[in-house]
Amino acid sequence: MPKALSVFWSSLGTYYSELFPFAGMNLLWFVFSLPVWGIVTLALAAGGSIFPGLTIFAQPTSLGIYLFWFILLFSLIAPNPASAGICYYANQVTHHRLVEFGLFWTGLRLFLRKSLLLFAISLLGLMLVLFNLTFYLSVPNDYVRLISVLFLYFLYFWLSMQFYLLPLLIEYPTRSLWVLLKNAALVALDNPGYTLILFILLTIWSLLCLVLTPLIPLASAAVVSAVQNRALLNRLEKYGLYKEEQE
């Protein structure tokens, strides 16, 4: 727990130290994420029309702010293609390398295709887990309904492994999508407490952004990207795959 808190706190410091570039990139992320939010909303609504287990999403307007918060959280921690540029910049900052605003565009150019594919996989997996979760919750048999607890864990696990995907793609750009997904799952499984604390902190951060709405276009993705990169490099250091560099 102390390590996870330290990662989160130091990531806030990273954002503050690069305040103006991060704020500018976050604004671009916000603009680029608008179609992504629309796609996720439509995908969930379409899933609710096709699969009985997802009927709760068939009328997204009835869910209002709760659905928007969930989509915001997912777009922040998943390999959102709009986040590729800001995450690449955060990666270079975390490595204590010289940075400039142009790295945002470099990251988008280098990782847009793979991040788009990863995001499609992440969204499909999310819909499958949600379908099973809502399906078993709707079954009248109490014993069968207990299976929904398993899928509730799968929902958390699927969301938590998303946390490592984009930083892994940037750190290991030549790895295949399958290897990236496998490694993200392994890191999440091997560090359950560490990942859970960071997931809770980022959930709280997304709620804070929802309450203090100017944070969404100015700081939301920048802070999350800083946390994700620092969290991954901390775990790589644990495995002997990275040595912390000094400024």
Please determine, for residue 14, whether its predicted confidence score (pLDDT) is greater than 60. yes
Q: Is there a domain that residue 244 lies in?
A: no
Residue 129 structure tokens: 């887990």
**H helix intervals, the chain:** 2-17, 19-50, 60-63, 65-77, 84-94, 102-138, 142-145, 147-171, 177-190, 192-211, 215-218, 220-238
247 assigned to some structural domain: no
Closest CA to 167 of 118, 123, 200, 219: 118
Residue 149 belongs to some domain of the structure: yes
- Mean pLDDT for 217-243 is 91
Asked if residue 6 is part of any domain, the answer here is yes
The answer to whether residue 217 is domain-embedded is yes
Cα separation of 67 and 247, whole Å?
41
Q: What is the pLDDT of residue 247?
A: 42
pLDDT digits 0-9 by tens, 191-212: 999 999 999 999 999 999 999 9
Each residue of 135-161: pLDDT tens digit? 787 777 777 778 888 889 999 999 999
| Domain coverage including residue 30 | 2-238
Angle ∠(213,214,215) on CA atoms, nearest 5: 85
* Distance of alpha carbon 28 from alpha carbon 22, whole angstroms: 10
Q: Let me know if residue 119 belongs to a domain.
A: yes
pLDDT digit string, tens, across residues 97-137: 988 999 999 999 999 999 999 999 999 999 888 888 877 87
Q: Of 73, 72, 89, give the one whose Cα is nearest residue 24.
A: 89
C-alpha to C-alpha distances, 105 to 66, 82, 109, 111, 150, nearest whole angstrom: 32, 11, 6, 10, 41
Compute the chain's Rg from CA coordinates: 18
> What is residue 79's three-state secondary structure?
coil
Rounded Cα distance, 132 and 106, in Å: 39
How many structural domains compose the chain? 1
Confidence of residue 246 (pLDDT cuts 50, 70, 90): very low
Mean pLDDT of 19-39: 93
Note whether residue 243 is domain-resident.
no
**Distance, CA of 165 to CA of 182 (rounded, Å):** 10
First-to-final CA distance of the chain: 26
